[in-house]
Amino acid sequence: MKELIAYCGLDCEACEARLATVNHDDALREKVAKLWSELNGVEITPDQINCVGCRVDGVKTPYCATLCPIRQCALSEGVGTCGDCEKMNGCEKLAPILNNNPSVRRNLTDGQGEKQ
């Protein structure tokens, strides 16, 4: 199992928020906060950019911790990732990520996120 594959199939290992956290990189935190603020139309501050990964124990960004509908659904369904869910292909929550990131489907269907 690759534990740094998020519930949605994104690769947390490549996420700049995670990289800023594990490398204690405040300049990268500032860059990510600025970009995410622009993309989401809300103020995100550098001190909110702390995350070690969606499915691993430890700190998460406020969005990932409590607001992400995909993560909340996967936790309530008790699945390792969305790839373990029989409703994955028709899921409205997951569709935008599947449609915009070709690697996500591979990450979810190649057994990368399976529970052990």
Question: Which domain covers residue 38, as residue numbers?
Answer: 12-109
What amino acid occupies position 81?
Answer: T
Query: Do the domain assignments include residue 115?
Result: no
| Whole-angstrom distance, CA of residue 25 vs CA of residue 88 | 35
Q: How many domains does the chain have?
A: 1
- The low-confidence residues of the chain, meaning pLDDT below 50, are 1, 112-116
pLDDT, position 113 = 45
pTM of the model: 0.86
DSSP string, 37-103: HHHHTS---GGG---S-TTSSS---HIIIII-HHHHHHHHHT-SSGGG-TTGGG-TTTHHHHHH-HH
Query: Do the domain assignments include residue 6?
Result: no
Query: Do the domain assignments include residue 3?
Result: no
Query: Do the domain assignments include residue 1?
Result: no
pLDDT, position 78 = 96
